[in-house]
Structure 1
Amino acid sequence: MNHLTVGQRTPLNNLAIDDTAPITLKFTRQSPIEMDISCFALDAAGKLINDDYMVFYNQPTSPCGQIKLTHYESQPTANKGIQAEFEVNLSKLGANIDSLFFVLSADTPLNQIQSLDIGIWQQSQKAQAEYQVADFAQQQASMLMQIYRKGGVWRLANVAQGFNGGLAAIVQHFGGDVAEDHSDTVPAQTIAPAKINTSKVPLEKVMLEKAPKLVNLAKKATISLEKRQLQQLTAKVALVLDASGSMNRQYKQGRVQEVVNRLLPLAVSFDDDQALDCWAFARDPQYLGEIGLSNYEGFIDNAHGGWRKWALGPRINNEAEVMKAVTEFYQKDGLDVPVYILFISDGGVSDNRGITRVMTEAANLPMFWQFVGLGGRGYGILKKLDDMTGRVIDNCDFFELDDLNDISEEALYENMLEEFPSWLKEAKQLGIVQ
């Protein structure tokens, strides 16, 4: 049997669960207070399909009949006992159902609960998540477990995300109707709203007027943005460049400058300032300033005296330090919009523990990290981020290239934006981005 840690995300088949057969979730609790356990069926935007798709003690079956509350005990108990059992049949859910969220709520703070276990069964028990009093803060609700589609595969996330305001606030957060006005109640860790600007000038038009050399790149970026409905999103964009000694060839051959050129159309599309923030790192990180349409040409050879003169200390790898620097920069900036970070590395990653710690803490912030391995090896933890445990949300993605010229511009944008939309959706569901 698999034990699920808080923040763990994994495909169901890694737990020996067949998503074509029914699955049972059993909630066992020891609690002196009354508590409710509900299941919300959400669409791709993270909203409740409709009010009939909130399955709980007073509405035990979804309209499609594939989500059922088969057992429920409402009274508190001094001993451990099963409070709720849900049966779900994922393969028969409608295509409009993108995820199921299992939520715990009460009228008083959850930290009075002594223990709560979630067992996932399919003929035999396949996995278990365990929560103790220390896992529950003063919030009156917690988003416990999520089963969701990603890349056509059903996955499970042990979220355990606190939420202020109780059940009514969660219903409202997911777009359902509530009888009372809870408009001043917000998720416990809400940090930043995702702004939509429908008056944006088309990307190609901006490039044609201000940077005609990038028009072709803008056309290809626009295709990927439109496919993912991101063309109206407002976000910050950052670029982090490995400048360790092993990257010298990439700098000399102009590959790093080409990365700048290819990322800039996304920055122009997302950012109101039509610019991106840039860092370089070796042992030490250095903020190189903004890259915009007026200074992108030759930026790598000109900024701060050019890449050979950057103040990075010995040219050895220290990814964790620059990750901390980037995170602190945007925290001071206010994090009023999501941040998309493109992180270039040629490998030699050694501080797996430090990177894990920074990425785990950063998962609570509206920041998405897209790592790209460029012409190297030894990427360490960067290659294992999708299943890294201990995070409230999967906030990272990784792909690698032997050479930037090995991939078309169209394919590069597809890879760069593959995971970002699903992160946005999940971050909205969790109140990290609203």
Structure 2
Amino acid sequence: MAISLSKGQKIDLTKTNPGLSKVIVGLGWDTNRYDGGHDFDLDCSIFLLGANGKCASEKDFVFYNQLEGGNGSVVHTGDNRTGAGDGDDEQVKVDLAAVPAQVERISFVITIHDAEARGQNFGQVSNAFCRVVNEETNQEIIRYDLGEDFSIETAIIVGELYRHNGEWKFSAVGSGYQGGLARIATDFGLDVG
């Protein structure tokens, strides 16, 4: 039975699940009725952050054009351009034991592709969620449903895996941004010029 989290909650991952080393972070969403004439394409991006809360280089940014990071310990399984169907829309595989020591946090972000040009925002998105699954057993460990807290935002930091005293934990962040992926990438120390 998965533990359901609310915004701001944190939970132990490896301490309460001994032997857990490989997880799948699944992200999903639905789009509300929308008749703006454009497709609605949401994307998952992952930032591998050091102690300073920044990416050391562009190699610490994982997304649909760079599917691996952290020496192969973080793997994005590919872009879903429609979000159609049930279950996870995009997935990220994380080998916790192989994440480089300098990476202290792995931040999971959902953005709306080309949101400003298309006049789209998270007010038009529903049923967004993030879940953490044990890759070996396929058992869902944690689930975080984002609710309908967002309206004008075009990007959301959904959650983070982070190290604490040698154990991995998960934080349900749920923090919305305007300015899309570029704004978050800049905040995480990347030059997106």
**Cα distance in structure 2, aligned partners of 1:17 and 1:76:** 33
Q: 1:101 to 1:51 in 2, by over 3 A?
A: same
**Cα distance in structure 1, aligned partners of 2:83 and 2:97:** 34
For the 8 Å contact 1:48–1:175, the answer to whether it is kept is yes
User: Deviation digits for residues 35-57 of structure 1, max 9, x if unmatched?
Assistant: 11111000000001211111111
Q: Do residues 117 (structure 1) and 105 (structure 2) align?
A: no
User: Deviation digits for residues 183-235 of structure 1, max 9, x if unmatched?
Assistant: xxxxxxxxxxxxxxxxxxxxxxxxxxxxxxxxxxxxxxxxxxxxxxxxxxxxx
Q: Do residues 103 (structure 1) and 124 (structure 2) align?
A: no
For the 8 Å contact 1:10–1:155, the answer to whether it is kept is yes
1:55 matched residue in structure 2: 62
Q: 1:170 to 1:139 in 2, by over 3 A?
A: same
2:161 matched residue in structure 1: 147
Structure 1 or 2, whichever has the larger Rg, is 1
Q: 1:13 to 1:64 in 2, by over 3 A?
A: closer
1:10 matched residue in structure 2: 11
How many equivalent pairs are there?
A: 176
> Alpha carbon RMSD of aligned pairs, Å?
1.8
For the 8 Å contact 1:12–1:18, the answer to whether it is kept is no
TM-score where L is the length of structure 2: 0.84
2:175 matched residue in structure 1: 161
Question: How many percent identity over aligned positions?
Answer: 24
Q: Could you tell me how far 1:64 is from its partner in structure 2?
A: 0.1
- Give 1:13-412 correspondences, 5 Å limit: 13=14, 15-16=16-17, 18-19=19-20, 21-31=21-31, 33-62=40-69, 64-77=71-84, 79-106=85-112, 107=115, 108-122=120-134, 123=137, 124-132=139-147, 134-179=148-193
One-letter amino acid matched to 2:73: Q
Q: Could you tell me how far 1:25 is from its partner in structure 2?
A: 0.9
For the 8 Å contact 1:109–1:140, the answer to whether it is kept is yes
TM-score where L is the length of structure 1: 0.39
For the 8 Å contact 2:130–2:158, the answer to whether it is kept is no
**Cα distance in structure 2, aligned partners of 1:105 and 1:17:** 33
Structure 1 residue runs without a partner (length 5+): 180-434
**Cα distance in structure 1, aligned partners of 2:75 and 2:52:** 23
For the 8 Å contact 2:70–2:99, the answer to whether it is kept is no
- More strand by percentage: 2
- More helix by percentage: 1
Structure 2 residue runs without a partner (length 5+): 33-39
For the 8 Å contact 1:2–1:15, the answer to whether it is kept is no
For the 8 Å contact 2:48–2:70, the answer to whether it is kept is no
Q: Could you tell me how far 1:177 is from its partner in structure 2?
A: 1.5
